[in-house]
Chain A
Amino acid sequence: MDLHLVTYFVAVVDHGGITKAAQSLYISQPSLSQAIRTLERRLGTTLFDRTGRRLTLTDEGRSFEVAARRILADVDRAKSKVAAVRELAAGRIEIVTYSAFSIHPVIELVRRFRSRYPGILVRVVATDGPAGVHTALRRGEAEIGVTDLSVEHAGMITVPVVEQELVLAVPPNLADGLPNPVPRSLLPSIPLVVDLTNRTDAMQSGELTDGKDLDIAVDCAHPSATWELVMRGTGATIAPRQVAEAQMPTAAVRSLDPPMSRPVGLVLRAGEPSPAAAAFVAIATNGTTGA
């Protein structure tokens, strides 16, 4: 059954006849009559009693009317659901990142997005590093990645967002006598709490050591436990400045010498992004609060 035949039928009922219905539908009277006969043939029944001067519904016609109105209401609901998503009043967006960025800058980006589009659910998917971000994007598990832009992103769209400074968060008991900034050459003498299974952290420590072994006090897979262990004096850790300052308030925050930073940005699959993804990109690259 074609949807337009249902629409025609309801129009004929609502206008009480072929002539007025044809006018409201902007089609000719013969083609509307033809369409109604086609509908009757397909349903195998007679919907209208054509014996009198006025067109009246048969019993079958009346029961079809109930079904037809329900179908049209369903169609409207479906269209408005899609429109809500298209117009960003509803829907969801999946973002993939790894622990290096789970707090900074992801929380600020999500906060700006949600304050502008409160109807859209934000899903943050965790992976273990830049390669995991690519995998999640390619598999369609997420549409936007928040990742390190100094890594190769061939074939993807990249959007720079912010330069993230990495600092040393040092427990008070280990901070005494430590210069500020801390020369990288001093790192092997400081016990550290880091996540060695996290590929980016491991890469960092490789970059930091110059071949010298770091003193890994705790290889810790749980970020919030890492923050607690630092504040309790077990060791220092390397973290984005914003994370060090907000999550480890009792730790001393020291820059490294030479300083250490990484460009953070968005990556997307090539091609046209969904409306929500396009909105996320716009909000991430527009420095204002977007409220």
Chain B
Amino acid sequence: MEFRQVEYFLAVVENDGINGAAAALGVAQPTVSQALRSLERELGVQLFHRIGRGMVLTAAGHSLIGPSRQILRDVGGVEDLFTSLEGEITGRLDMAVFPALAIDPLVDLVAQFRKAHPKVAVRFGEFRAEETAASLIRDGHCEFVVSHLPIEGGYGLEVIELGEQEYWLAYPPGTDLPEGPVPLAAMPDIPMVLVPRGGGAMGDSIDSAMRRAGVRLDVGVVTDHREARLPMVLAGLGGSLVERQLAESAQDHAVVRPCDPTFTRAFGLVFDPDSLSAVGQAFVDLVRSANA
């Protein structure tokens, strides 16, 4: 197995086929197909089903993704051995973040990290099924996961708690609402802008509390784009439930209030301490010192 074959294999996975991979790598298509076929020959198994002109991963192909990413990271780490003599860390910080948690303190930690290590490229990716958090790390898809805690099947993984997430209500400017927490049963009669129920324990507990309080929300807009919630509130489209710090950042423009009862859940950074790269170790050090 050659490093180049692994790189091409991942490019085909990430770019949905030979064409995209060749374009992304800046090489000719036959070069990619050839490399892929020889990798399959060597492994004695097909990595992709060729369906029409499409490429669909086989089970064997799936099993190769995680280890391949680990290979790329480790190769990057070897390059670090030599470049780090100059005292600067290079390489890649690779993390998958649950969408609701792509906020502070994580964003701030990433900004600080880039300031301290400007030669490190950061991949601030996303994942949507929290029950897969542990396997994302174990299979080598990424080095860090940021997820609500506790995570399922986290045995042997290390967790650094980053904070507690809380949901607040945000309403359009000028909404007449008394100061202080808003009891669910006393929510104003204003249409809501919501993201779809993403599963996850947080959404479930909010749902059941609303049912208990006998609240029937008038839902005006349901959007998959989380980043559009607050702008929609400010545009007067309705109220929304948003992460506390997002609400606080908007309190000069929108009417924001805590909910009663409060909905909180801890979240944190998860990683495998036994396979930490030099870049990963530097990030863990930064997070620990910020938490101290």
Contact = CB atoms under 8 A, between A and B. Distances in A.
Interface string A157-186: 000000000000000000000000000000
A222 interface: yes
Interface stretch (B38-46, B76-84, B102-110): B102-110
Contacts, number: 120
B227 A223 contact: yes
Interface in A213-234: 216-225, 227-229, 232-234
Interface in B212-268: 219-228, 231-232, 235-237, 246
A145 to B, nearest CB: 14
B225 A218 contact: no
Given A107-B231, A125-B224, A225-B107, A118 B191 contact: yes
- Could you say which of A197, A223, A225 has the most chain B C-beta atoms within 10 Å of its C-beta? A225
A155 to B, nearest CB: 20
Contact of A99 (B106, B220, B225, B246): B225
A102 B228 contact: yes
A222 B220 contact: no
Contacts of A99: 225, 227
B224 A126 contact: yes
A191 B122 CA distance: 12
Nearest to A218: B122
B53 interface: no
B236 to A, nearest CB: 7
Interface residues of B, number: 36
B115 A228 contact: no
B126 A106 contact: no
A10 B214 CA distance: 39
B114 to A, nearest CB: 5
A188 to B, nearest CB: 14
Nearest to A131: B16
Contacts of A102: 223, 225, 227-228
A246 interface: yes
Contacts of A124: 221-225, 228
Interface string A103-114: 100111011001
Nearest to B220: A114
A123 interface: yes
B92 to A, nearest CB: 9
B220 A221 contact: no
Contacts of A28: none
A218 B110 contact: yes
Given A219-B123, A224-B227, A229-B107, A191 B235 contact: no
B220 A232 contact: no
A234 B114 contact: yes
Query: Which of B99, B103, B225 has the most chain A CB atoms closer than 10 A to its own CB?
Result: B225
A121 interface: yes
B125 interface: yes
A220 B124 contact: yes
B157 interface: no
B47 to A, nearest CB: 21
A114 B221 contact: yes
A225 B102 contact: yes
Nearest to B107: A228
A5 interface: no
B118 interface: yes
A181 B121 CA distance: 27
Given A224-B102, A232-B111, 18 more contacts: A97-B225, A99-B227, A102-B223, A102-B227, A107-B235, A110-B232, A110-B237, A111-B235, A123-B221, A124-B228, A126-B224, A218-B122, A221-B124, A222-B102, A227-B227, A234-B110, A234-B115, A247-B227
Q: Which 7 A-B pairs have the closest CB atoms?
A: A126-B224, A222-B102, A102-B225, A124-B223, A223-B227, A232-B111, A218-B122
